Structure 1
Amino acid sequence: MNDPVRTTCPYCGVGCGVRAAVDANGAVSIAGDDGHPANAGRLCSKGATLGDTVGLDGRLLHPEVCGERADWDTALDTVADGFRDVINRHGPEAVAFYVSGQLLTEDYYVANKLMKGFIGGGNIDTNSRLCMSSAVAGHMRAFGEDVVPGCYADVDDADLIVLVGSNTAWCHPIVYRRIEAARAARPDLKLVVIDPRRTTTAEDADLHLPVAPGQDVALFNGLLAHLEAGGHIDSSFVDAHTEGAFAALAEARRGGAIAELARTTGIAEHDLARFFDWFASTERTVTMFSQGVNQSSAGTDKVNAIINCHLLTGRIGRPGTGPFSITGQPNAMGGREVGGLANTLAAHRDFDAVDSVGAFWRAPQIARAPGLKAVDMFEAIGEGRIKAVWIMATNPVVSLPNADGLRAALETCDLVVVSDCEGATDTLTCADIKLPATGWGEKDGTVTNSERCISRQRPFLPAPGEAKPDWWIIGEVARRLGHGDAFDYRSPHDIFVEHAALSAHDNDGRYAFDIGGLANLTRAEYDALEPLQWPVLEVIPSPPWAGERARERGWPDTLPSPPSPQSSPPVVGGRGSALSGTRRLFTDGVFPTETGRARFVAITPRGPAHAPDADHPLVLNTGRVRDHWHTMTRTGRSARLSAHVDEPFAAVHPQDAQVFGLGDGALARLETEWGHMLARVRVDEGQARGSVFVPMHWNAQTAAAGRVGALVNPVVDPVSGEPEFKHTPLRLREFAARWHGFLLTRTRPALTGETDLDYWVLVRGEHFWRAELAAGEAVGDWAKRARRLLGATSPDADWLEFRDERAGAYRGALLVDERLEACLFVAPEPPGLPARHWLGGLFAQDELSDADRMALLAGGPVESGGDTGPPVCSCFGVSRGAIETAIQDQGLTTPAAIGDALGAGTNCGSCLPDLRRLIDIHATTTDDDANETNPVAAQAH
């Protein structure tokens, strides 16, 4: 085993440190880095299983041009020639880059520099537009810059934590473990969860406020008015450090009395009153918010409504206080730093600083106006205004709203270039040129997490095939476009120090983002860089065109100074010392605005852009599940992660399920104005009436009709451009399948050509692939169809078969050398199908016994207890059945006791709420059993 390499997790914005090691056989082992401040050694279920995801199966390993393998020179020449031709004929605004929070900061920097600085167009945007741009816009309106003021340590210090629009226990598990630890250490700490859904996180809260969809602004305006009415104002802070309070308070008062607010928000009066009183009386309050706030046509307003409450009470810049945006991607923050959003320039500059950035880059053709944001960008592609697009490290054909329209747009685009590490994604099917990029474990650079902490992502695997780093690919295209001197990077270190130097250039305290203290790092210091939070101040370094390397190229040492700014705002306070990070910003109440004051923003509540109607009476809300990530290109490789939630589902309130005639486990067709999909129904009392939750992860490679992005309303927030993923009018009805079934096989089945299968979903197992199947048309000859699907076409195949035509049941299995190779089970309804987990276990056996053969045909294990059910703890593969047995047999009453007995819940803690739920279910069952023989106890219930 090689020495572990310290790197950073590629999933959410928590930014956990990872130690990765490779043994002599190439197997990768993963552990949390106990020296990283973000996680102190903890990893969630996704991070803990990263070793499952680094194989080369399905990787894009060679460049391709028009479907044919090509060498790098040919591919890069074709990209450059294509872009040059479009620019010459139609101008720089006819080309676009769409990039990703999966890129490292160095990749991001080079992409932004090429597009805005040297192609001279503004059309570069990032998939962070889909998750974080409302937070960015809210920060800029309130603080003058996209700055998260606080840090994770504020969770430890808070006495009240408010989670808004965040299922933190599932989506940011390590942050949630920190919250749990703080609650355990200080039982008086209160947790409030504001979410229309009663999520796993909400079930753990001291108070859950099930706000009506889209009414967050009304709620926080009501809180602001309550704080003013009760005199809970930090007048000295407001007077000295803010502006605009009068207008914001005047607007907040319009919300009416608490009874009216209760009707508007759908929250009980006594719960509103309790929340308002807790917030008013608790000095140390942290409000953490995520996609439930951001992904809205009023997302920016929601962010500012939250910030207003913190400004009024002066709860910012001090331990245990502040509004805290929890980012969704590993480098969403790094991309924002380098100008990955269409409306910003590098180093947190806006387009007012274009001359300064242009002078630093020596870029006379720099774009002078913002480009198109993501949704508008792809609309422009569909309309033919953008004729060439380069998509890097993201899968917009799945993740963007109106995804079918986006796919159609790409299919008509003159030139589509895609850089990716995956060989088969929905977006790659639209590509004219495919460029193989390195992936996690092979990439070298930095990322920045939700608390402004810059961490190194280091390689521990060689680049496979002909894969290259994204920064290298972009730089080679830049060189072919004639900009080689500006992109003469030899390593990520060269890029990083230039990025750091730009952050200090013409800064003088105007911008909080300043890492000038890192601009003189040597290569060895960069390689050894420890995690630290920006700002990092030390010296004002020379720009990249000054010094020895520049003189070697024949460049002059100086350039004319850029125009002076019209005003010199105050220096941002709370900075750290030389080469040390800064934990908390705004400690002295000075903000990066022209006046140095934070701004209140007067917010008028407004509903979602499109309300339900008679044709679409429900509301679609999209989001994540615990063990999957984005479009599953990474997590879908792990059998452990795939087992937790294995099919697209639609969570429906029981009363809605009754109204629409849907049973738990049935298939439903979901329809909006923009598209449709099929999903498995989950009847869930935690759902709000009238709302349907669907996860975002499935795509055309893993499901026949599971892309929820095709249904999502493409309306966006007018300020941030972020789409409204949480509120699309929806119609829901049962899908009347003639049959249901599933198959298991050792090799990945090819189902995309099975056009008569209305529904199929692929699931990765430990030793097999599983496909869930259904169709609206009957199959005439199941024996023939089964043999074809399972590859048993030879008449000599060892084939087991059972048919009951009257009952509509069929079972077939193929054995090779006494080992189970594949099997298929069919029934008219899902309850008629056998348990999948038991069958999956047969694939681990080298030889099937006679009893196993009989069980295959019988559709179940001969002995009871053969199926233990789905896993609850993905980290250690502990099943629900094993946990329930332990609870019953050993009398376990706490998650800690389950952890001691089985290990479940002792790693990432993501399953701890599920463990508590199983304990409660067992306790309720036990009480009910007791009541059957104790009438007095039953009456008391």
Structure 2
Amino acid sequence: MTAAVRTTCPYCGVGCGVVASSDGAGGWAISGDKEHPANAGRLCSKGSALGETLGLDGRLLHPVVDGRQASWDEALATVADRFSDVIAEHGAQAVAFYVSGQLLTEDYYVANKLMKGFIGSANIDTNSRLCMASSVAGHRRAFGGDVVPGNYEDLELADLVVLVGSNLAWCHPVLYQRLIRAKSERGTRIVVIDPRRTATCDAADLHLAIRPGSDVLLFNGLLAHLGRAGAMDQDFIATCTNGFAEAFLSAGDDACDMDAVALGCGLTLGEIQEFYNLFTGNSKTVTVYSQGVNQSSRGTDKVNAIVNCHLATGRIGKSGMGPFSVTGQPNAMGGREVGGLANQLAAHMGFTPDDIDRVGRFWQAPRMAQREGLKAVDLFQAIEAGKIKALWVMATNPAVSLPDADRVNRALASCPFVVVSDCVGDTDTTAYADVLLPAAGWGEKDGTVTNSERRISRQRGFLPNPGEAKPDWWIISQVAARMGWSDAFAYQSPADIFAEHAALSAFENDGSRAFDIGALTGVDYDTLPPTQWPARKSSGGTARLFAEGGFPTPDARARFVTVQAATPAMSASAEYPFILNTGRIRDQWHTMTRTGLVPRLSSHIAEPFVALNPADAATLNLTDDDLAVLRSAQGDATLRIRVTRDQPQGQLFAPMHWNRHFSGNGGINALTAPVTDAISGQPELKHTPASLTPFKPAWTAFLITRGEVAPPPSAEYWTRSAAAGCTVLMLAGTALPGDLAAWAEALLPPVHGIDYHDKRRGIHRWARLDGDRLEACLFVSTDQPLPSRAWLVSLFAAPEMDAKSRTGLLSGRAPADAPDEGRTVCSCFNIGLNRIAAAICDGGLTSAEQIGAASKAGTNCGSCIPELKELIGHVRCGQAA
């Protein structure tokens, strides 16, 4: 048996340690690394399912040039020649890289070095621009550098944790469980600040459902209150900061009293008082913020409004204290360390004359970039305008993830030369590639990542590169060599790159730059343990920063930043009366190119949806599970309706994951506007004016099949989801096909069939069997609701179907003695709603802990626990919820 390999999860910024070991049957068993300080053995549903993402279905295995398989030599020469030609004719500013937090630090370093030091342009930006750019800008304004002061342990040591714009339970489940344990063991108080009620609110002592965009007003009001309450740390302010008086006076003008704050934030006076009293009365306070703060046209100001309150109270860098930005990707911070953002140089240096000179000398760079490059949204607008002639996209899917996605698709289509490096062959973005380069994927790659607490961890390969796939650093280095810079890119391994990266961090660094990992320059790369930076040669790793000042500013003082409340850049109108908020769901990742293929990750929420308040639904004559068209000034999407009191009136929520492989028109970033923060360049993804209108189909259907079938043109709505042994297509249209039988036969495999038709009731059903093996089911309805498909889907997981199941096949109902899991609730253990409901009724269960003991549901990552608690109140014994 192959020895276990310690590596790091490739999903969120928690950076969980993972152990991969052979399962003895040709596959790999994935478990949490009990020795890794980020997770101590815990994994979320996505991390637990990593072993199910290692197959080669859909993998890009060979270079492709102009639609045909090519050799590496031809592909690399084509990229090098075309980029060189564009630079020669149009200059270095006519080329660009768009990279990703899915790259390892070593990949990122080589890409940044090639673009900024040798091509001579800073037009390299990253999808981290969509994630954490406002935090970066806020940190640099306040601290002088992109530094997160604390660590995860502080969440467990705090007496109060304030979660701002962070659905920690779904987006960072392992951190959430650490927080819940602290609440249970030491009574940690939790405040959630979020316009909508999320799963995270289940543990909250106080939920502030603030008006979208009013965060600055709320925290300016808090700063003013701290002054009135005498809760300032005057010694820290005097010795470690600048700019307090101006920021404090401005905050007082903005929020003259609590009544004004309550009115502006859409809260009650009592809610404001309770929050301010909790913050004032608990010196050990950590404020965790994420995309709800960052993804805003005022995101940087929101960050600084939060940081101001921590600086004013000296609650920074000490045990259980501090502002804490949690990142969305596994290597968002690593990419920032090496200059992956267009407005940074490597090792946290900027575009100052001294830094440009320093990096240029270290690299011996012939064409060092002299100014900042184009940030993500601006970059793609420059492509559309014809200013960028050659683009290289690495490990990301901007055709889905960027705002105003239809415009991004037009830009990609118009670009004269597009290169895409990816491990997946068919994405929305690869469709535009002139050259496709097969990159190594997780499980094959070797390098480092840095998580949200500044902890550098090794990601180790345990699988061979499939086909002709190569590591990203190798691909970039080979192109660089063919462009004439072989000596500067003569890396033989990621260890070589990491050593250079570490050396640059310490180069001419007298302590003025916080990012310094000089102590790691000569370490054994293979055995490098998880290490927090700074790791200076004189000190080693560092857990917390700034408790006694020492900020990376010219005078070593932090800076209060004067920020003023303002309304969001876009407002609701008669044409677009709702405000659309976008985000993530529990079990999917980014644009689903990886997680969308895993059956148990698709079974909790299988279709794209839009959530709205019951009062709004009633006004629009919409009910749960209806279909509706969501529109904005940029585009539209057709989505399933979810009616929930968790959503405030006038506000909508839709997840951002669905790409064109999984949905015909479910991509939510077709609607979001390319409005950005003027300082950070991060787009406003949480506040888009939108309208919602019912979509009334003449027919609805589902097709469950072992093969993958293209949706029929007559389906104006369709979604695809993975299930065990099959694929599920949900279909709907406004005109029933004229020859329904021929239409159905075109979708079904040519094997033995049984059919049922009730034209009067508008019910049509087909099943196709190869012996006793079920191959496909197609259910169509014009008047009646479709039956649950959960039991039918379960039949495809078995090699054969028994006679009893065959008898009930076209009814869609399980035999009385056959288990029907129902919709999946716990994805970690694949436990369905019906099994949980039965456990509740049979055992008289009254708590999530009891449900876990009876069924295991909720006992791994715990992100389904809020739903388990909700089920206890809704399940009626004798029927499923």
1:414 equivalent in structure 2: 416
User: In structure 1, what is the equivalent of residue 810 of structure 2?
Assistant: 857
Pick from 788, 793, 797 the counterpart of residue 746 of structure 2: 788
2:593 is aligned with 1:633: yes
Q: 1:828 aligns with which of 782, 797, 800?
A: 782
Query: Could you tell me whether the CA contact under 8 Å between 1:835 and 1:867 is conserved in 2?
Result: no
Deviation at 1:251, TM superposition (A): 1.1
User: Paired residue for 1:456, among 455, 458, 465?
Assistant: 458
> Deviation at 1:807?
1.8
**Matches of 2:812 and 2:43, distance apart in 1:** 38
* Partner residue in 1 for 2:358: 356
Question: In the alignment, is residue 128 of structure 1 matched against residue 163 of structure 2?
Answer: no
State the match for 2:236 in structure 1.
237
Superposition pairs of residues 301-380 of structure 1, within 5 angstroms:
301-352=301-352, 353-380=355-382
Q: Which whole-Å CA distance do the structure 1 matches of 2:599 and 2:87 have between them?
A: 46
2:211 paired residue number = 212
TM-superposed deviation, 1:24: 4.6
Tell me how far apart the structure 2 counterparts of residues 92 and 22 of structure 1 sit (CA, whole Å). 47
Q: Distance in 1 between matches of 2:295 and 2:785?
A: 40
Q: Which of 804, 812, 819 is equivalent to 2:766?
A: 812
C-alpha contact 2:789 2:812 (8 A) present in aligned 1: no
Partner of 1:178: 178
Cα deviation, residue 828, structure 1:
2.3
Contact between 1:22 and 1:460, CA under 8 Å: does it hold in 2?
Answer: no
Give the deviation of 1:168 after TM superposition. Answer: 0.3
Match of 2:397 in 1: 395
Give distance in 2, aligned partners of 1:134 and 1:908: 29
The residue number in structure 2 matching 1:299 is 299
2:851 alignment counterpart: 898
Letter of the structure 2 residue corresponding to residue 419 of structure 1: S
Measured in 2, the distance between the counterparts of 1:294 and 1:773 equals 36
Which residue in 2 is equivalent to 1:89? 89
Which residue does 1:591 correspond to in 2?
551
**CA distance, structure 1, for counterparts of residue 655 and residue 577 of structure 2:** 20
Shift of 1:865: 6.6
Q: How much does 1:920 deviate?
A: 3.0
After TM superposition, the structure 1 = structure 2 runs for residues 725-764 of structure 1, keeping only pairs within 5 Å, are 725-751=685-711, 754-764=712-722
SS where residue 470 of structure 2 aligns?
coil
Distance in 1 between residues matched to 2:40 and 2:566, nearest whole Å? 42
Structure-2 residue corresponding to 1:723: 683
SS in 1 for 2:495: helix
Residue 445 of structure 2 corresponds to 443
**Does structure 2 retain, via aligned residues, the 8 Å contact 1:333–1:452?**
yes
Find the aligned partners of 1:608 and 1:163 in 2 and give their Cα distance.
Answer: 21
Indicate conservation of the 8 Å contact 1:438/1:469, yes or no: yes
Contact 1:58 1:422 in 2 (8 A): yes
Whole-angstrom distance in 2 between the partners of 1:859 and 1:13 = 42
Correspondence for 1:603 among 544, 551, 563: 563
Distance in 2 separating the partners of 1:24 and 1:646:
32
TM-score, with length taken from structure 2: 0.98
Cα shift at 1:315: 0.2
Looking at structure 1, the residues matched to 208 and 267 of structure 2 have their Cα atoms a distance apart, in angstroms, of 6
Structure 2 contact 6–33 (Cα < 8 Å) conserved: yes
Q: Note if 1:773 corresponds to 2:731.
A: yes
| Other-structure match for 1:616 | 576
Query: Do 1:758 and 1:775's aligned partners in 2 also have CA atoms closer than 8 Å?
Result: yes
**SS class of match (1:141):** helix
Deviation at 1:866, TM superposition (A): 4.7
- Amino acid in the other structure paired with 1:766: A
**CA offset at residue 217 of structure 1?**
0.5
Kindly report which structure 2 residues correspond to 1:23-62, keeping only aligned pairs within 5 A, or say none: 23-62=23-62
* SS of corresponding position for 1:365: coil
Higher mean alpha-carbon deviation, 872-881 vs 294-303, is at 872-881
For residues 30 and 776 of structure 1, the distance between their equivalents in structure 2, rounded to whole angstroms, comes to 45
Which residues in structure 2 correspond to 1:529-544 (within 5 Å)? 529-538=528-537
Give the match's secondary structure for 2:553: coil
Q: Which residue of the partner structure matches residue 604 of structure 2?
A: 644
Do structure 1's residue 693 and structure 2's residue 693 form an aligned pair?
Answer: no
Match of 1:427 in 2: 429
Paired with 1:681 and 1:820, the residues of 2 have a C-alpha distance of 31
- Per-residue CA deviations over 1:77-106 (Å, capped at 9, x if unaligned) read 000010001000000000000000000000
Match of 2:669 among 675, 692, 709: 709
- Relative to structure 2, which stretch is displaced further, 313-322 or 797-806? 797-806
Structure 1: give runs of 5+ residues left out of the alignment.
540-576, 927-941
Structure 2 match to 1:574: none
Residue aligning to 1:562: none
Residue 863 (structure 1) shift: 2.3
Tell me the CA shift for residue 846 of structure 1.
Answer: 3.1
Q: What SS is found at the alignment partner of 2:217?
A: helix
What residue identity is the alignment partner of 1:399?
Answer: S
1:618–1:865: structure 2 CA closer, same or farther, 3 Å change rule?
farther
Deviation at 1:750, TM superposition (A): 2.1
CA drift at 1:777 = 1.6
Displacement, 1:25?
3.6
Q: Report deviation, 1:587.
A: 2.4
Distance 1:886 1:849 in 2: 26
Please say if 1:581 is aligned against 2:541: yes
Q: Which amino acid aligns with 1:528?
A: T
Equivalences for residues 64-79 of structure 1 within 5 A: 64-79=64-79
Quote the residue 1:139 is aligned against: 139
Partner of 1:551: none
Deviation at 1:818, TM superposition (A): 2.1
Q: For residues 412 and 760 of structure 2, what CA distance do their matches in structure 1 show?
A: 48
CA deviation string 1:847-866 (max 9, x = no partner): 33443233122232242775
Return 905-914 or 470-479, whichever deviates more.
Answer: 905-914
Look up the equivalent residue of 1:688 and give its one-letter code.
P
Letter in 2 for 1:592: P
Q: Residue deviations 1:333-355, cap 9 Å, x none?
A: 00000000000000000011100
Q: 2:489 corresponds to which letter in structure 1?
A: F
Give the TM-score of the pair, scaled to structure 1.
Answer: 0.92
Q: Distance in 2 between matches of 1:97 and 1:274?
A: 48
- The answer on whether the counterparts of 1:442 and 1:462 sit within 8 Å (CA) in structure 2 is yes
Q: Please tell me the residue identity of whatever aligns with 2:763.
A: A
Q: How many Å separate the matches in 1 of 2:412 and 2:570?
A: 27
- Distance in 2 separating the partners of 1:846 and 1:397: 39
Structure-2 residue corresponding to 1:472: 474
In 2, Cα distance between equivalents of 1:900 and 1:476: 54
- State the distance in 1 between where 2:260 and 2:634 align: 35
**Alpha-carbon separation, structure 2, partners of 1:258 and 1:244:** 24
Query: Separation in 1 of the partners of 2:796 and 2:749?
Result: 16
Which has the higher mean CA deviation after the structures are superposed, 319-328 or 19-28?
19-28
CA distance, structure 1, for counterparts of residue 181 and residue 53 of structure 2: 30
Q: CA deviation at 1:883?
A: 1.0
Aligned length: 874
Per-residue deviation at 1:4? Answer: 1.0
Contact (CA 8 Å) 1:782, 1:810: kept in 2 or not?
no
- The 8 Å contact of residues 240 and 548 in structure 2, kept in 1 or not, is answered as no
* Structure 1 partner of 2:484: 482
In structure 2, distance between residues paired with 1:727 and 1:697: 17
Q: Partner of 2:97: helix, strand, or coil?
A: strand
Shift of 1:778: 1.6
**Secondary structure of 1:737 counterpart:** coil
CA distance in 2, matches of 1:441, 1:233: 49
Q: Which residue of 2 aligns with 1:675?
A: 635
Separation in 2 of the partners of 1:846 and 1:477?
A: 48
Contact 2:180 2:203 in 1 (8 A): no
In the TM superposition, residue 501 of structure 1 has moved relative to its aligned partner by 0.2
CA separation in 2, counterparts of 1:44 and 1:56? Answer: 23
